[in-house]
Structure 1
């Protein structure tokens, strides 16, 4: 029997920047589209069917005593290959339990810091998809921003911290992952907040996330102040927490900027995107810590696995913020776009409440990498 490694165990290795070696046995096209990444992750791909007659195709690339984690789509093929390797004398082989399917759903909570009035802010890092969500805890209450659909993770965390979830906030209508905000709000009796300009077609009630509508979390004042910042969607709204943290949604990332085309409106929205990045954010304090809703590159994972950057530093380092010519900017964000996220239209309709797929279908819809950024 092969030795299993859980996604939690692998996540700890990735966020702690430990040397990690992965043998991915999925088909090459699947591997090229999406794989496990991290600062010190080395990964090689050899399709499962090439190894059915023996592990010779990879044997000369591996040391028999090194730690090797075998990964496949769902965990079956990796178990078989790991057992074959053990029979050939490899002594430190694991197969990833649940494969890439499970990896896609793992959420790793990372503490970002304490808030001024006794609260705390946490970032939930979805390593398999690059999604980032936020958990604000203060005096027995909590708010969650841009939650993923795996809501059990947030409920368990709230229980551990002894807080009651009161507010669920989406900075915009997501197109690359299914939001858990509305479902979790219904389950815990909380309020679901969504920008009204992104809510024209939704089928449910929500509280309007609008500039000036502060959201109070706990008796101590953790103020979440929306700033209307269109560009990625027409309703995209940023949040300032405790005068320290700027939650930018999918407008601004550490290494890139948001793409304006996921509702088919790239040409219409590129001006809004530029105005938000080059005017509205410029008026804010350089010392704000930018906390985006996604990351695209393994090198964005910092200490403990968190993803963040000082706003002033991004204006010096992020190429998307340094295009002075308006036409050059327009060209960059309309011509440099990666492929659309898998099933993005179905995901948008799910987040609008228009369709409600089965859980297995939701998993399938979300398969693949984050594609919310413009590629430089």
Structure 2
């Protein structure tokens, strides 16, 4: 964190904030966005307190704000893009307070920060890494073996994978989407084109795509490196008709948006909730039940900070999820149908446009892509 000499305040990067959330450190956040923006999406953590006082209420001064800010806690001021938070933070510092920070790049930067963490080793010497997009709740993966890598459910910030692959001295040979995403823009096709990798997509989700791709079908084995490590697709519809889980090294199950740590996937983002409910139930209650309880489940999203484990990892044993995940414990089929079709959280912002973009039908600018993705992850049933 660096000092701003002119104002005496300090700036914090999204990476530094991510570490605060992961470490469960105590902070106080003053969010100066409009109330509707704050209510829709905010920075959350186990020991983070926050208050929302819109910027326009502070234009005449921050005197009314000072008594609402704890005296003995570090304070982070947050806005959408940075400018308003810098102004408010400077006013608070001038009023005599210390330990006042503003978020560099605002919530836009928070939405785009991706933090790589190691999940574990593979049996023949490789490793699997999780890329935690902590502000958006998105999770992606890199499987590494013998100088090669496969990236799964790539975010649109493809540079983070290229840089990590360079640091690990591996070449990206495959990019894979477990399904056609609706809450974020996939970087899978873009990363494949930049690295010369093959791009894989379930064909049942690809009926309207405008580009060529490799078909991610059950029974297909995608080798990574020259060892016996393979990524094995398992057809698991419900969130989308093509949703496909990936078995890696007989140890890890990448479940896409079908199964999360604290919830299950919603079936309504393509407008076919009633049609896909039975598929979802069959995948969760039959297909997954046939798999080993010892598998480590690695989802494509998380909903709340409480799902972050040690070091920011999001993972759980399959057996533990069958005991603890509410979405896996609805025995009555009618109740299950109601749960996944009624009273769901709001649908993701611009999800139709995001789906169209992931099909190749729209080509939004970088700034338009940022705006389309702003907001929380909303792929789960229980994220209300």
**What TM-score, normalized by structure 1, do the two folds share?**
0.98
Unaligned runs of 5+ in 2: 1-6
Q: Secondary structure at the match of 1:332?
A: helix
1:54 aligns with 2:55: no
| Contact 2:27–2:73, Cα closer than 8 Å, also in 1 | no
Q: Give secondary structure in 2 for the equivalent of 1:172.
A: coil
Contact 2:222–2:231 (8 Å) recurs in 1: yes
Contact 2:26 2:73 in 1 (8 A): no
RMSD of equivalent CA atoms: 1.0
Partner of 2:131: 124
* Cα drift, residue 64 of structure 1: 4.1
Tell me the residue number matched to 1:14.
Answer: 21
Q: Distance in 2 between matches of 1:40 and 1:109?
A: 22
What does 1:1-376 correspond to in 2, within 5 Å? 1=7, 2-375=9-382
Q: Secondary structure in 1 aligned to 2:179? A: coil
Superposed structure 1 runs of 4+ greater than 2 Å apart: 63-66
Provide the C-alpha distance between the structure 2 equivalents of 1:113 and 1:310, rounded to a whole number of angstroms: 13
- Give me the whole-angstrom Cα distance separating, in 2, the residues matched to 1:22 and 1:122: 30
2:114–2:134 Cα contact (<8 Å) kept? yes
- Structure 1 unmatched runs, 5+: none
What SS does structure 2 have at the residue aligned with 1:173?
Answer: coil
For residue 109 of structure 1, report the CA deviation from its aligned partner.
0.7
Cα-to-partner distance string for 1:267-295 (whole Å, 9 max, x where unaligned)? 00000000000000000000101110000
- 8 Å CA contact retained: 1:336, 1:375: no
Task: Please say if residues 121 and 127 of structure 2, whose CA atoms lie closer than 8 Å, have aligned partners that are also in contact.
Answer: yes
Deviation at 1:65, TM superposition (A): 4.8
- Secondary structure at the counterpart of residue 132 of structure 1: strand
In the alignment of these two chains, the number of paired residues is 376
Deviation of the 1:336 alpha carbon: 3.0
- The C-alpha deviation readout for 1:301-343, integer Å capped at 9, x for no partner, is 1101111111101111111111111111111111031111000
Give the TM-score normalised by structure 2.
0.96
